[in-house]
Structure 1
């Protein structure tokens, strides 16, 4: 029997390979690689062996009964093997392109495999016990709650896969970040129960598929397609270093091409203001520029003129809420690349320049270590009321 199966399988594979070599069919090669034809070749030896066995043991009814049981179980197992290999082949064909349908195909095929295995187990139980399959299924109704509890993750994963496929939230290959697990990387696989994410440190993280729709997930794929990446970082300045400019202070900035036109316009506004209003040598009555305001304008023009900063996206230099460390000035803009190495280089060059340029405006950058020392020294002083 084993020898017949071996010879038939070898001969059938030989002829199938010859046919596929002459007639190129993409799905035929995939079926051959997934050994679908091997499973089909098992049926003929099985039937042949069964009929020969019945012929030899035709006078032994008990042996024939057991042979029928073995044949039926073998037929169910071979059919299950064929079904799984066909599903693997279909999944390979349908997921050759990297799209949102990949998730639904993976989820559906894995769910179908699980259902097929359970159904085959029930059929085998019915064959061994000689009971009707319907009666076995009816008896399982009493333990439906337990079955649902056992396959809770499977059901949730299947629903999640369908939802992600229909809404096109996430697909295999997307660059995502999940703050709950502190992970960021590319999606390698989304199957029925878990999803695999390759982090940027080349480690692999597996999370439940349901978490991709039940938790906050940031999808950076749109940013990568647009080939842009955001800079959102602030510089904290010591408020004690802020002061007003007078006409003498502004002279050294009139040759800086990024802000010289801005200074000229502001000086015209200031001169027209003084013609209409009385100054009386009171500082608060005066209309003057501040060093922090002039630096903010310089930083904004610097970003506009930077060749690697996108002007078509949101670009601003803004004040954040003051803290006990000082006043944060935030840069909000987009770099013309999504590649991490180039992005970090551009971001570093921007902040290197602005951190150094801030000294030219008389600004002091807050260093938390030094500030903590000052606070400690103040706390150690005795305050006399």
Structure 2
């Protein structure tokens, strides 16, 4: 993987404080943001918005983000965005497959309600690209990006890399699993493990690819033999895990880390065999009602400040120099560690249909 250069700093204009009144929709109040002598918004040494953009954004209704990511983590990111910029923001959250259906329907009727879309799953992204849902964007010069973060000449961007690990409830689980191999009928009784159904998102498809490629179909059949509870999203699985209704299950690190930080009795595990990391993309919507605020949000997301905020909730940043997320109270291995499993877009698309059929057959899932 290519590593980006350290992002440039803003040269030497004096930075002064300006209070921007958050207006329009969302939860924004007043927030203090830094501007330079030209009136440009500067966050951690990077220009996030010009003075003209700030003026235009102040007259818009506030950002609306359509996201397939976990709601709690997204709200934390939006709160940090508002704190850094003074601009209000709100979100609509659906699992990625349902979100894609909504976006395509709204866009086809000229009523797309989002300013920015964040989603995963290359098969889903392809549908949005084919429907020309995204508007190309060029970030400010102070925000340097690795080549792999820029897709379709700026039509959309890598937002962050999301690891998928597993967790267990340390109050009810009779064992302390340390590997994917431990999630087996020998260690767990029927119904004690939870899984998320494969067609929910790109992350679940990638988890399936990892399990088949690294653990093997026989192991996956053993997981199915535990008669797991099947969930339609990682968030309710994690809630059930926190309540002790299930004892263990695979979780996106962001969802598990939020639960851990909130005091849930769960232990998050970096499995001995490694874990998959999934790319979430972000892009401007065609037809949003706050297009300038959307540009500022995208700039912030790609900046050091936005990437640091994503790292704090459990994601790997675009730029490895920003750092690595934590799991529980420990730091995750670096993104280029041999245990971190990643696939290209072509590899994902080549395997997604066959992998899905295997999963549906093994788990006898038809809903």
- TM bucket, shorter chain: under 0.3
TM (norm. structure 2) is 0.19
Q: TM-score, normalised by structure 1?
A: 0.18
The answer to which structure has the higher strand fraction is 2
Higher relative contact order (CA 8 A, sep 6+): 2
